[in-house]
Amino acid sequence: MARRQPGSRLLPTFIQRWLPRRLRRPPEIPASLWNTTLAQHPFLAALDPQEQQRLRLLCQHFLLEKEFHGANGLTITDAMALSIAAQACLPLLHLGGIAQAPTDDPLPALDWYGDFVGIVVQPGAAVAQREITDGMGVVHRYREVLAGEAMDRGPLMLSWEDVAHAGSAAEHGSNVVIHEFVHKIDMHGMRAGDAPDGAPPLTKGFLGTASAAQARERWRQTMQAAYNRFRESLALAERFGGEQPWLDDYAAKDPAEFFAVTCEAYFVSRERFALEFPELIPLYDGFFRSRA
């Protein structure tokens, strides 16, 4: 079933991938495997039956289109691939296609992930070599421990150790798969050399706006206010012993990470997220539920 080096039982994978999605016949996900995946992820089990069926269809096509590569000796099983696929496709469930036009067909939403094929899965966290140049022209080199990483127009990396704990991590509003795939949505249409900024592509009519520019401005203003409030609460906790914010403090790094971290919580713990960030609920519903 999984595309470890998979192929359809009906047509070779490489042929199916050239066909329009409506003509493809991806292998069906076995019911036992699907039900186990739902049971292991409370935020997926909480979806209604129609949503679960849409998600299953998205996963079948996702698994046909993507290639999983285990790193450092890790073998990718069908259960592992499906776990990643189901979490990756959750943000697409009501999103619609790139044009964000309402539609009953869930498959155009997969175009948001159309700039890559490979998904590299590490057994645990990966260590990346980083290099930045400060304002004085001094080059700083350091190592960063990563649970995942999304690259513009490139593959996506995930730590299986983190992915495997998605069910329990949801209580804290955390989900590494959703985090990295939301980065891919944020990057969509980005020019080469640019960096994601936490503002995905928006169209005219978003939340009643009269133009795409107006939609983007509304998004930025709302997000900036929420981002500033989160950073202030984090500063109060660190400097003066205030209550520690519910979300991971990585959200304070920059607007792109704030978007990705808050999206994790939006999808896996919506009720708590609504209490913590009520101003973001209409914004995220307006974008991620554009076809609803």
Range of weakest confidence among 51-55, 127-131, 190-194, 231-235: 127-131
- For residue 4, tell me if it sits in a domain: no
pLDDT value at residue 245: 92
93 domain-assigned: yes
Task: Examine residue 284 and state whether it is found in any structural domain, yes or no.
Answer: yes
Looking at residue 10, its pLDDT comes to 39
Number of residues that this document lists for the chain: 292
Q: Considering Cα of 144, then 252, then 180, then 41, what sign does the dihedral take?
A: positive
DSSP state of 204: T
Q: Let me know if residue 2 belongs to a domain.
A: no
Per-residue pLDDT, averaged over 112-135, amounts to: 77
Q: How far is it, in rounded angstroms, from Cα 66 to Cα 147?
A: 20
72 within domain boundaries: yes
What string of H, E and C letters represents the secondary structure of 205-221? Answer: CHHHCCCHHHHHHHHHH
Residue 6 belongs to a domain: no
When pLDDT is cut at 50, 70 and 90, the band that residue 133 belongs to is low
**Integer distance in angstroms from the first to the last C-alpha of the chain?**
29
Domain annotation covers residue 239: yes
Higher pLDDT, 240 or 271: 271
Residue with tokens 């995942």: 148
Looking at the structure of the chain, the number of domains it has is 1
For residue 197, being part of any structural domain is answered with: yes
Domain with 226, as residue range(s), is 13-288
At 25, list the tokens. 């016949």
- Average pLDDT on 205-233 reads 95
Check residue 190 and report its DSSP letter.
Answer: P
pLDDT at 147 over 80: no
**CATH number for position 241:** 1.10.472.150
Instruction: Answer whether 91's CB lies under 8 Å from 267's CB.
Output: yes
pLDDT digits (tens, 9 = 90+) for 2-29: 444 333 333 456 667 777 788 788 889 9
- Tell me the C-alpha distance between 17 and 11, whole Å: 10
